[in-house]
Amino acid sequence: MQLGARDSRIDQSSSEAQFGAKYAAQYGLPNPVIYPSISSNANAFTYLLTPQWKITPDWMAYARLASGYRPGGPNVAPGTPAQYEPDKTENYELGVKGNALGNRITVDGSAYYIDWKNIQLTLLDPQNDQGYTANASRAKSQGIELSVSATPVSGLTASAWVDWNTAVLKQGFPYSNLPYEAYGAAGDRLPFGSRFSGNVTITDEFALTSRMTASVAIVESYVGNQLGGFQYTVTPGIVPARQYYAPYARTDLRAAVKFDTWSANLFANNVTNRFASVPLGGLDGPPLPPNYYSVLQPRLVGINLTKTF
Q: What is the pLDDT along the chain (309 residues), one digit of tens a residue?
A: 999 999 988 888 887 787 888 777 776 778 887 877 877 788 889 999 999 999 999 999 999 999 999 988 888 776 777 788 889 999 999 999 999 998 899 999 999 999 999 888 877 776 666 778 888 889 999 999 999 999 999 999 999 999 999 999 998 876 555 556 778 889 999 988 899 999 999 999 999 998 999 999 999 999 999 998 888 776 766 777 888 999 999 999 999 999 989 999 999 999 999 999 988 755 555 567 778 888 999 999 999 999 998
Position 20 scores a pLDDT of 81
Within this chain, do residues 59 and 177 fall inside the same structural domain, yes or no?
no
Which of 135, 156, 179 marks a domain boundary? 135
Q: Are 257 and 212 in contact (CB under 8 A)?
A: yes
Within this chain, do residues 172 and 305 fall inside the same structural domain, yes or no?
yes
Position 174 scores a pLDDT of 65
Within this chain, do residues 48 and 95 fall inside the same structural domain, yes or no?
yes
Do the strands 59-70 and 52-56 form a parallel or antiparallel pair, or are they unpaired?
antiparallel
Within this chain, do residues 285 and 182 fall inside the same structural domain, yes or no?
yes
Q: Give 122's Cβ-side CA count (13 Å radius).
A: 12
Within this chain, do residues 127 and 209 fall inside the same structural domain, yes or no?
no
* Cα–Cα distance for residue pair 242/215, rounded to 1 Å: 43
Within this chain, do residues 244 and 295 fall inside the same structural domain, yes or no?
yes
Which of 94, 115, 135 marks a domain boundary? 135
What is the reported pTM? 0.82
Within this chain, do residues 154 and 97 fall inside the same structural domain, yes or no?
no
Which of 135, 168, 183 marks a domain boundary? 135
Residue 302 region, left (φ>0) first, then alpha (ψ -120 to 50), else beta? Answer: beta
Position 170 scores a pLDDT of 93
Type of residue numbered 129:
D
Position 105 scores a pLDDT of 96
What string of DSSP letters covers 222-285? EE--EE-PPPB-SSTTPPPP--EE--EEEEEEEEEEEETTEEEEEEEESTT----EE-SS-TTS
Residue 48 CA, chain-centre distance (Å), reads: 22
pLDDT digits (tens, 9 = 90+) for 105-164: 999 999 999 999 988 887 777 666 677 888 888 999 999 999 999 999 999 999 999 999
Within this chain, do residues 230 and 162 fall inside the same structural domain, yes or no?
yes
Within this chain, do residues 180 and 212 fall inside the same structural domain, yes or no?
yes
Within this chain, do residues 62 and 182 fall inside the same structural domain, yes or no?
no
Within this chain, do residues 182 and 74 fall inside the same structural domain, yes or no?
no
* Cα–Cα distance for residue pair 128/232, rounded to 1 Å: 16
The total number of structural domains in the chain stands at: 2
Domain containing 7: what range? 1-135
Within this chain, do residues 86 and 152 fall inside the same structural domain, yes or no?
no
* Cα–Cα distance for residue pair 45/92, rounded to 1 Å: 17
